[in-house]
Structure 1
Amino acid sequence: MRLLDKLPLTTALILAATLGLAPFLPEPHVWEKLRMLGAGELRAAIDIFDLVFHGSPWVVLAAKLGRMAQIRVAG
């Protein structure tokens, strides 16, 4: 939790906006992989890696926002 507390929100936002959405055209990889997952087509190892790689900044951002809300409520 300490690492998450030390991570600036702006850094998490920048990571999600850049790495999380790259490449921007024709569509973000994370969106493409989520569609593939929903359709049951996410089978290749590279596609699973892409989902984890481009999805992890969004998970970190969500965890950071959740931690900030938890601290606000408890504090």
Structure 2
Amino acid sequence: MKLLDSIDWTTAIIVALLLGLAPFFPEPHLWEKLRMLFAGELQRALDWFDLLMHGAPLVLLVLKAARDLRARKG
């Protein structure tokens, strides 16, 4: 958990936005891969890798927020 604490909020937000939304046009990769996942079209290994790579910073941002909220309450 020290990793989450060592990342400042500005860096976490910028990385999550840049990697989550890249490429910006015609459609963000993360949105495209999530749409494919829910449609059952996410079959190639490259598609799964893209989903993990573009989604990981967003997951880390959510985990950092949850840890911060939990630390403030307790």
Coarse TM-score class (shorter-chain normalised): over 0.9
Q: Kindly state the Cα deviation for residue 71 of structure 1 after the two structures are TM-superposed.
A: 0.5
Residues 13-52 of structure 1 mapped to structure 2, 5 A cutoff: 13-52=13-52
Q: Percent identity?
A: 58
Deviations 1:29-72 (A, max 9, x none): 00000000000000001100000000001001001100110111
In the other structure, the counterpart of 2:55 is: 55
Q: Kindly state the Cα deviation for residue 2 of structure 1 after the two structures are TM-superposed.
A: 1.0
Q: How many residues align?
A: 74
**Following TM superposition, where does structure 1 have runs of at least 4 consecutive aligned residues deviating by more than 3 angstroms?**
none
Q: Kindly state the Cα deviation for residue 22 of structure 1 after the two structures are TM-superposed.
A: 0.4
Task: Name the TM-score, length of structure 2 as normaliser.
Answer: 0.96
Any gaps of 5 or more consecutive residues in structure 2?
A: none
Task: Name the TM-score, length of structure 1 as normaliser.
Answer: 0.95
Any gaps of 5 or more consecutive residues in structure 1?
A: none
In the other structure, the counterpart of 1:12 is: 12
More RCO (CA 8 Å, sep 6+): 1
